[in-house]
Structure 1
Amino acid sequence: MNAKYSLSLLLLLYCLNLSAQQTAANLQGNVKTTKNEPAAFVSLLIKHSQIGTITNEQGKYSIQNVPTGKHILVVKAVGFDLIEKEINIEENRTLTVNLTISAATTQLQAVEVTGRKEQTYKNSYAFSGTKTETPLRYVPQAISYVTKEVMLDRQAFKNSDVVKNISGVNQFSYNNNDFVLRGFRASNTMINGLRVSSSGWNQSLIPHVERVEVIKGPASALFANTDPGGTVNIVTKKPLDENRKSVNFTTGSYNTYRLATDFTGPMNESKTLLYRLNFAYQNAESFRVLQGGQDVVVAPSISFIPDEKTHANIDLVFMSSVGKLDRGQPIFGATAGTQLNSTPISFALGKKSDYIKELNMYSTLSLTRKLTDWLSFNASYMKFMYNEDLMEHRTSNGYGMDADGKAIPTLMQMQTIRRQTRNYTDNVSAYFISAFNTGKFEHKLLVGYDHILFHTALGNSNYNAGGFINAAGNGVVLTKSGTPAAYDPKNRSLYMIKDNMPVPNVPFFNLENPDYNITDISRYYNISSAVTPSRYYADGVYIQEQFKFGKWNGLLGLRMEHYTDMLNYTLKTEKKVKQKALIPRVGLVYTPMQWVSLYGTYTEGYQPQSAGTIGAPEIYGGPFDPLISNMIEGGAKMEYFKKRLAVNLAIYRIEQNNVLVNAGAPDNLNLLRQIGQQRATGLELDAYGQITPELSLTANIAFNKAEITKSTNEAEVGKIFPNAPRKQGGFWAKYKFPQKAISGLAVGVGSNFVTERTTNDTKNNLKLPGYTLLDAAIYYTVDKFRLAFNLNNAFNKTHWVGGFDYNRLFPGAPRNFLIGIGYSF
């Protein structure tokens, strides 16, 4: 009987299985846009089920084992209208359904709320160039970028690892976001298009970053006071309406241990509530003495999409960094012929007891509401907080000396800085977008208001030691203003002299015999002082018109900026120092063929001089005019290989006027002067995407000449800007082997080069040599696991990424490796 029952059960299961196979079929097809272009990464879902897929880069899709009968096929894509199509699945047949999706009415979304679904080196859209969702090919200005896919393949976890993939961008120092853009040193950073005034010293991890964009040239017409060379915009990851989860562990050189996770998906069946959670922890040392530390990033994000007209997003990012502040490599004294390798590239100043604890935390609320078919309202608010707790021994930017004032090139003058500060930035952006037609013209009109507030309150404090011991040995020699005085051999009787040397408050650092031991700073003569409170705010009203007429796209913009800085903030003598500017922008794009767009643009930039500088002419001179810049740029934006590869060419000229430098007056060390004009001219070429389905590529090259063109000092005319190479470039290529025998195997190779650069030390003509580096990688993917091995600086080339002078040079890392293992589910 048991055998009969068993046979009957097997027959029953077979019949059920056969019945299931007979009541299911396959669904396939293509999805295109109304412009007959493939629609990549579009979501397709059988309504009221978990059956679905997304289109590939060619717009093709295939859904297996769809139950027979009538269903509703739901088609969704960011920026496009929702489609619900009734389909009828018949037994033993493959149903082919081709679909065309239309851009959401007037494409009024202007706040990036839901995440980017593209999974290649290419990014098709940007919000930062126009504050609207505009295809990059129609933005009349160069915008370079690096996607998260490039970051993953290069195992790039900090901004300095990322920028080498962008044309015309290189490091100035190790400091966070301290870069040179088109020859000009940059200080402004945005997060999701909102300005950040302070983000610390050490570079934080970026597991929560979707892509890094650089808006080339002045962007003041949209984003207030910005740098002339460009603005870095960090785009954070947003929730997706499909489940994606990944865990990655990395280890490698310099005792690196790193864990990163990325979870995203819907929180309810209707997919009106989406989430994303990014987390990363790193504990790593460095090739630099005493450097390295611990980093933690926690970044939750929630999107609420109750209907097709309303999108809201809430982000919270917590970034903690504990380490030491690396001020760079000092070399032997500033004399002609001194070699950069007089000290090893691992050499650093400081003590074991030094530290810096930094906390960056910000929250962002974004909302877009479609009021009518032709009008939408968009708003964002970000609260940013930076907290610093610093203890460091650092150079006083000078060498030790004997009693006669003669420099000793192997001894560095030192000081200590003990500082605790906290500051806040509030950023509000609100605007309306109206889309309408007049005859054959299509218009997208934007009217908006921005408010930026930076605030450093009372209570922040310094506790510093420096200078030289006085003759009585009971303190340090002070200036009339109460600060430690430099050594003056003409008044040597004021100083304590020992072994024919003035005795420093903080002992000289011996470059030949360094002492890194723990030191108690209470042994020095310290001066406690408050960090001067500060407060400034900027209010801007702007209007922007984007129009389309046949093959032409145009952009006209105008911003009225009001900048208010508080002089002597919190004191009885407090007063407002106001500045204002009218900032225009104009651009035109011509698309003669579908694969190429030609563009030209003119835009201006504006940066007010600080209130402390222009409000105290008795100290600094002046009055001084604000920094004014302008740019003329033209180029071409092209797409090849069925639009899988984007190639962008830009030719530009940027001018900046009214730059302040030290006047070098012996009787007033604070006196400033405006040198006239700086100019950068150049050419850039960027490429992103896929040449074939197996070969991905990102490449760039830049030619730039950044020099002083006008100055009250004729000797300065023609001098090149610090850390601005004449040529630089690089590439990264990844190839996935299609053969079944080695399925899952891929290799990567890349290189970047930089030519010779000058430094701030023009007196001694200190220059940094050019270099070429080679990187390589190998990947293996099996099931849901991914293994990666990255080798950086394969030929172990000694190089410097930037530098100030003989006291502070910034060498690049020697040969190093990373091994990563990831699991996606």
Structure 2
Amino acid sequence: MKIRKPRQAARAARARLRKGAEVRLAALCMGIAFAPSGWAQSQDQQPSATPSATPSTGAAPDSTLPAIHVQGSAPTGYGPLVETDRVNDPQQRVSASKTGTKLEDLPANVQVIPRQLVNEQGGTTLHDAIQNASGVNYGGQDSKGYYDHFLIRGLNAQVYEDGFSDGDELSGITHSLNGVERVEVIEGPGSALFGSGPPGGTLNLVHYTPSPDLHYGTSIQAGSYGTVTNTDYITGPTGIAGLNYRVDATFSRTDGFRDLAGRDYEVRPDLQWQLGNHTLEFSLDLRDIHQTPDSYGILYFHGSPLSSVSRDAKFSTPFAFARETYVRPELTDKWRINDFLTINNRFSYLHRSLDALTNGDSTSTMVSNGEVVGRQLRQQDDSDNSFDYQFEPVWKFATGSVGHTLLTGFEYQHQVIDTDRATADLPNIPDAFNPVPPETSADQLAFLCDAKHSCDNDHLVANYYSVYATDQIDVTDRLKLRAGVRQDWWDTSLTPNISVPGRFGTNGQPLLAGVTDSRNDAPVSWNIGALYKLLPWMSPYFGISKSHFANFNSENTQNGIGAPESALQYEVGVKFSLLNDRVILNTALFDVKRDNVAALQTINGVESVVFDSQKTKGAEVSVDAALTSRWHVTANFTAQDPQITDNPQGITSVGNRPQGAPAYIGNLWSTYDFSIAGVPGFHVGAGVNYVAKTYSDITNVNSIPSYVIANAAFGYETPHWGIDVNVDNLFDRRYFVAANAAGAFVGESLSAFVNLHANF
């Protein structure tokens, strides 16, 4: 799913916009299927690189500038307008901040990954996008191979969509980019703004909104592993005054690298109605996702993945499958009462179901005497139903010469998770160096539920109540302050439907069928920060964040509902905007500590939950440079030292690294536009991705090696259509993208994809 914007018109627009020192660098949005519907304008009348604040943004509606037309250009599909393609554009407004604050005014390392950049890299998923933000990598606890798990600064991160949580944090979904305009990355604890959340940070997917002008487009991409992806969109007026619509659809199929086949069917209709001072929006996100789990990957042998087997070797069950359905209606009302007050009412309902047969990921699965032993298969049937209501008045006022954007809010979330799981023993694979899994049908297997066979049949309920406030303060044109506080009341409970030997609740008593185990917690989260524009091109900042995370999910119930996790982060950094924003450089130092972290560990052959403490110290830098009107470079690098600082149940792990957290991460991407025989519209791109060694669990016995892979792109654009070729893993490097407990996920081999797209 790769839809690209005509690049020559975009570069020409950039050159014109650079003529004024106060005009920010931007790129003309010539999106085939992905462009916003508005053009935001700040209070000082400087153009912003983002669309007008959507209902997910706390800012008051901005006035709309006239559409910008470029001679010879095609319509963008969402109205002719200017859109940034830069990760760190200082004028970009971040909807996840809920105060409509620009990047240059936030005292934190917040990065925005635009869809245009992901498209030119050939990306189709959130997994593809994250390489453009510093400190983010794929993997971590419970990465089963069929949903997204990410770490930020070596700690767990959570995915949100338009400001709403994706539900069960340890049993998620794979995210396509269907209708997604940009990905916002907020690094570090965010509980003061979002409520219960892991300390690594937040990935917020922001969708496009409907346009008042009729546009439509399509894209088809085909390539290696029998992969075909089709994306389509249409947007325009309904004929009712102020009511516009948009529909995004994605249909894809793949035979899969290592024969891990998959199907993805998604459609997302969206209606937006401007009714007086109200902006009403209703969207319905529907997904049907089929994937082939491979939690084993390549098994470890003497501490690292087997090197003597082909990267196509399979140790997992041949008939493993995972099917997920996802239904999410969202209804929002942005009511602009006056210049002083805007009230956001936002409601989301999420239903997600999972039906899966997948291999258990445990260190008990290993190579012993040439055989693969300790293999198991989990039968799983889960459902997650969540309601989320947010009432957020946003106040804009001044105290003397000091300006305030004060977000106040109340949020209520109700989550119900039902799980039904059992485990079957699998026969050994006789030859680990030429693996052929013997099982051919689930009918041959006996699924059990006891102390040696991970299982549950649980009903989990959570009610989260919150009141909160965040003030973005403009003390002067140079000094910006931000402070937030949130009081939460959490009521979480677990009611087993069956009694399983070896399970104990929060009070140390056995978990018995029909007996509810519950917790009531009332944590307070907060953050403070300050940024000072020392020079027009340099802004140092600092921030401190305290957060809490409810240990409430479908994976860590062996010991009932655990006490909440807490985290504290210190961050200092400097933001640079050089040469009229042509070169943007962000640097940060961070120190994050987290306590009462739930971690899975196999003890005496039984999967158990242990609670430890962790910390990460590190530094990161990101660069976004328009070296010329044709040459654009983005790069980031992170150095970090994640460690286990306390583990009462395993003191030997103190000083070790957490699962999946590398010491170094680096990414580089560069594109160049050119003409051939006087014909413009050609472009070429290249980049590298680097991730250091990572460990499979807190014992640090097994690990995967570091890797560097190279990618390349070439394409041609006309005003109405284009064609692109992307080549990944250019030198066909054998590498591993994540370290699971039993084995390592294998990175894709040399692959190529061709994308043909058009818009009108």
TM-score, structure 2 normalization: 0.82
SS where residue 345 of structure 1 aligns? coil
Q: Equivalents in 1 of 2:118, 2:608: separation in Å? A: 45
Asked if 1 retains the 8 angstrom alpha-carbon contact of 2:298 and 2:311, the reply is: no
Q: Equivalents in 2 of 1:657, 1:177: separation in Å? A: 24
SS where residue 740 of structure 2 aligns? strand
1:598 alignment partner, one of 540, 544, 550: 540
Where does residue 502 of structure 2 map in the other structure? none
Matched, 1:437 2:398: yes
Shift of 1:125: 3.0
Where does residue 252 of structure 1 map in the other structure? 223
1:198 alignment partner, one of 157, 168, 181: 168
Q: Which string of whole-angstrom CA distances, capped at 9 and with x for unpartnered residues, describes residues 591-635 of structure 1?
A: 133333221111111123349999x9xx859x9753211111111
Q: Equivalents in 1 of 2:714, 2:290: separation in Å? A: 32
SS where residue 593 of structure 1 aligns? coil
Where does residue 141 of structure 1 map in the other structure? 108
Asked if 1 retains the 8 angstrom alpha-carbon contact of 2:185 and 2:203, the reply is: yes
One-letter amino acid of the structure 2 residue matched with residue 658 of structure 1? N
SS where residue 342 of structure 1 aligns? coil
**Counterparts in 2 of 1:304-315, with a 5 A limit?**
304-307=273-276, 309-315=277-283
Where does residue 535 of structure 1 map in the other structure? 461
**Counterparts in 2 of 1:81-92, with a 5 A limit?**
none
2:314 alignment partner, one of 348, 369, 376: 348
One-letter amino acid of the structure 2 residue matched with residue 37 of structure 1? E
Evaluate the alpha carbon distance shift between residue 301 and residue 743 of structure 1 in structure 2; reply closer, same or farther with a 3 A threshold: same
Where does residue 419 of structure 1 map in the other structure? 380
Shift of 1:166: 1.5
1:212 alignment partner, one of 183, 197, 200: 183
Where does residue 374 of structure 1 map in the other structure? 340
Shift of 1:762: 3.1
Structure 2, unaligned stretches of length 5 or more?
A: 1-12, 30-36, 62-77, 450-454, 498-512
Matched, 1:157 2:157: no
Matched, 1:634 2:560: no
Where does residue 40 of structure 2 map in the other structure? 78
SS where residue 568 of structure 1 aligns? strand
Q: Equivalents in 1 of 2:673, 2:600: separation in Å? A: 55
SS where residue 753 of structure 1 aligns? strand
Asked if 1 retains the 8 angstrom alpha-carbon contact of 2:166 and 2:172, the reply is: no
Where does residue 574 of structure 1 map in the other structure? 516
Give the CA RMSD over aligned residues. 3.5
Matched, 1:815 2:750: yes
One-letter amino acid of the structure 2 residue matched with residue 814 of structure 1? S
2:417 alignment partner, one of 456, 465, 469: 456
Q: Which string of whole-angstrom CA distances, capped at 9 and with x for unpartnered residues, describes residues 204-262 of structure 1?
A: 42222111222100001011111111122111222234444321111111111111113
SS where residue 130 of structure 2 aligns? helix
Matched, 1:692 2:628: yes
**Counterparts in 2 of 1:268-417, with a 5 A limit?**
268=239, 272-288=242-258, 290-307=259-276, 309-331=277-299, 334-335=301-302, 340-392=306-358, 397-399=363-365, 407-417=368-378
Shift of 1:80: 5.6
One-letter amino acid of the structure 1 residue matched with residue 246 of structure 2? R
One-letter amino acid of the structure 1 residue matched with residue 310 of structure 2? P
2:97 alignment partner, one of 100, 123, 130: 130
Asked if 2 retains the 8 angstrom alpha-carbon contact of 1:204 and 1:295, the reply is: no
SS where residue 379 of structure 1 aligns? strand
Q: Which string of whole-angstrom CA distances, capped at 9 and with x for unpartnered residues, describes residues 380-424 of structure 1?
A: 1111111112234556643589xxxxx434223333333332221
Where does residue 71 of structure 2 map in the other structure? none
Q: Equivalents in 1 of 2:586, 2:129: separation in Å? A: 19
SS where residue 222 of structure 1 aligns? helix
Asked if 2 retains the 8 angstrom alpha-carbon contact of 1:40 and 1:118, the reply is: no
Where does residue 495 of structure 1 map in the other structure? none
Evaluate the alpha carbon distance shift between residue 581 and residue 687 of structure 1 in structure 2; reply closer, same or farther with a 3 A threshold: same
Shift of 1:171: 1.2
Asked if 2 retains the 8 angstrom alpha-carbon contact of 1:361 and 1:386, the reply is: yes
Q: Equivalents in 2 of 1:724, 1:596: separation in Å? A: 31
Q: Which string of whole-angstrom CA distances, capped at 9 and with x for unpartnered residues, describes residues 90-144 of structure 1?
A: xxxxxxxxx96799xxx99762599895152345434445312111111111112
Evaluate the alpha carbon distance shift between residue 419 and residue 741 of structure 1 in structure 2; reply closer, same or farther with a 3 A threshold: same
Where does residue 703 of structure 1 map in the other structure? 639
Where does residue 737 of structure 1 map in the other structure? 674
Q: Equivalents in 1 of 2:439, 2:554: separation in Å? A: 38
SS where residue 118 of structure 2 aligns? helix
One-letter amino acid of the structure 2 residue matched with residue 78 of structure 1? A
Asked if 1 retains the 8 angstrom alpha-carbon contact of 2:296 and 2:359, the reply is: no
Structure 1, unaligned stretches of length 5 or more?
A: 1-27, 42-54, 58-74, 82-98, 402-406, 467-504
Q: Which string of whole-angstrom CA distances, capped at 9 and with x for unpartnered residues, describes residues 551-575 of structure 1?
A: 1111111110111111326875336
Shift of 1:715: 3.7
Q: Which string of whole-angstrom CA distances, capped at 9 and with x for unpartnered residues, describes residues 450-484 of structure 1?
A: 12221124xx6445422xxxxxxxxxxxxxxxxxx
Asked if 2 retains the 8 angstrom alpha-carbon contact of 1:627 and 1:659, the reply is: yes
Asked if 1 retains the 8 angstrom alpha-carbon contact of 2:55 and 2:333, the reply is: no
Where does residue 529 of structure 2 map in the other structure? 587
Range 507-516 or range 154-163, more displaced: 507-516
**Counterparts in 2 of 1:702-781, with a 5 A limit?**
702-712=638-648, 715-737=652-674, 741-760=678-697, 762=699, 765-781=701-717
Evaluate the alpha carbon distance shift between residue 135 and residue 241 of structure 1 in structure 2; reply closer, same or farther with a 3 A threshold: farther
Q: Equivalents in 2 of 1:663, 1:363: separation in Å? A: 37
Q: Equivalents in 2 of 1:613, 1:556: separation in Å? A: 34
Q: Equivalents in 2 of 1:797, 1:560: separation in Å? A: 49
SS where residue 418 of structure 1 aligns? strand
One-letter amino acid of the structure 2 residue matched with residue 273 of structure 1? L
1:37 alignment partner, one of 22, 26, 32: 22
One-letter amino acid of the structure 2 residue matched with residue 437 of structure 1? A
Evaluate the alpha carbon distance shift between residue 782 and residue 603 of structure 1 in structure 2; reply closer, same or farther with a 3 A threshold: same
Matched, 1:652 2:590: yes
Q: Equivalents in 2 of 1:261, 1:624: separation in Å? A: 44
Percent of residue pairs identical: 20
Range 810-819 or range 518-527, more displaced: 518-527
Q: Equivalents in 2 of 1:379, 1:408: separation in Å? A: 62
Evaluate the alpha carbon distance shift between residue 555 and residue 681 of structure 1 in structure 2; reply closer, same or farther with a 3 A threshold: same
Q: Equivalents in 2 of 1:142, 1:412: separation in Å? A: 45
Q: Equivalents in 2 of 1:31, 1:436: separation in Å? A: 36
Asked if 2 retains the 8 angstrom alpha-carbon contact of 1:754 and 1:770, the reply is: yes
Range 131-140 or range 389-398, more displaced: 389-398
Evaluate the alpha carbon distance shift between residue 273 and residue 624 of structure 1 in structure 2; reply closer, same or farther with a 3 A threshold: closer
Evaluate the alpha carbon distance shift between residue 204 and residue 658 of structure 1 in structure 2; reply closer, same or farther with a 3 A threshold: closer
Matched, 1:524 2:445: yes
Where does residue 4 of structure 2 map in the other structure? none
**Counterparts in 2 of 1:478-493, with a 5 A limit?**
none
Asked if 2 retains the 8 angstrom alpha-carbon contact of 1:399 and 1:409, the reply is: no
Q: Which string of whole-angstrom CA distances, capped at 9 and with x for unpartnered residues, describes residues 252-287 of structure 1?
A: 1111111111322333486x2222221111111222
Q: Equivalents in 2 of 1:613, 1:146: separation in Å? A: 30
Aligned length: 687
SS where residue 116 of structure 2 aligns? helix
Asked if 1 retains the 8 angstrom alpha-carbon contact of 2:299 and 2:315, the reply is: no
Asked if 2 retains the 8 angstrom alpha-carbon contact of 1:312 and 1:366, the reply is: yes
Q: Which string of whole-angstrom CA distances, capped at 9 and with x for unpartnered residues, describes residues 645-685 of structure 1?
A: 5332221111112334579876x96776543x321111111
Where does residue 796 of structure 1 map in the other structure? 732
Shift of 1:732: 1.3
Shift of 1:303: 1.4
SS where residue 369 of structure 2 aligns? strand
